[in-house]
Amino acid sequence: MRTIDSSVIRDRVVEAYRKLSFELDGRLLESLKEAKQREREEAAQLVLQDILDNAEIARAKLIPPCQDTGTQVFFVELGQEVLVTGKTLEAAINEAVSIASRDNYLRASIVKDPLYDRTNTRDNTPVVFHVKLVEGKKLTVTIAQKGGGAENMSRLYMMSPSSVEQDIIETVVKTVLEAGAKACPPLILGIGIGGNFESAPQIAKHALLRELGTPNDNARYAALEKQILVRLNESGIGAQGLGGSTTALAVHIEQAPCHIASLPLAINIQCHAHRHIRIEL
């Protein structure tokens, strides 16, 4: 059995927030540069350059690339041979987020009650916490700061089980068209196909967090990702909704077994301020 004190986890998460909060990852920046080179529309080129300049200013001056520093989403893989001592894992992570939000001047974006008492918790807690037990002695923590605008335009559909590939494509395109500029394109789409009412959105969010543009392991789903990406970039929405061919940078699908009477389809839209990081202990 390997023992990790909760204070070690807290400190690593706090440290990770210095990068997570201010830096977009290299693959995303490359993708934005490639999109700018492909673009034929001047407005789209200018918008993409603005996004790249903004990212550079954020990195250099330690300012979040968007004022919405999001809901803090944690996917944890906990090795079965790891024992966390001290506080619970979830408590350690919430403590880390509270410290990191204060130290890095992150906007406080969480209210304690959704309907009756929208008092701000002032430190971006509580986080959204998912934990999965895995083999071994490692603890892996993947963190996303998920902005509200793109999250608001995300959707779950309980499709007919007789739906075919084309129905999935049309539903995703319809959802992105409805989102328009509100989700701050260029987008990354996490799509969960299968599971059930609670797990489809979870796998959609998890899909967002794999390395940008990495295809699905299954050849048919990988081909579907490509088809959806092509359709989205033909939609004419474009970067920040100003037209052009860069509505989305990547489409990531995760699939799961589902009930014979169901075919859940969750579409988690992510904006260009795609902040995520993975740490291993």
State the residues that interact with ligand SF4 by CB under 6 A. Answer: 66, 68, 70, 147-150, 183-184, 271, 273
Contacting residues for 26 by C-beta, under 8 A, at least 6 apart = none
Residue among 95 and 151 whose Cβ is closer to ligand SF4: 151
Residue among 147 and 195 whose Cβ is closer to ligand SF4: 147
Residue among 54 and 262 whose Cβ is closer to ligand SF4: 54
Residue among 149 and 215 whose Cβ is closer to ligand SF4: 149
Residue owning tokens 């210095």: 18
| Minimum gap (Å) between residue 151 Cβ and ligand SF4 | 8
| Minimum gap (Å) between residue 152 Cβ and ligand SF4 | 8
Distance of CA 91 to the CA centre of its chain: 22
Residue among 68 and 225 whose Cβ is closer to ligand SF4: 68
Are 212 and 25 in contact, with CB atoms under 8 Å apart? Answer: yes
**C-beta nearest to ligand SF4: residue:** 147
| Minimum gap (Å) between residue 47 Cβ and ligand SF4 | 12
| Minimum gap (Å) between residue 107 Cβ and ligand SF4 | 10
| Minimum gap (Å) between residue 220 Cβ and ligand SF4 | 31
| Minimum gap (Å) between residue 118 Cβ and ligand SF4 | 18
Residue among 186 and 192 whose Cβ is closer to ligand SF4: 186
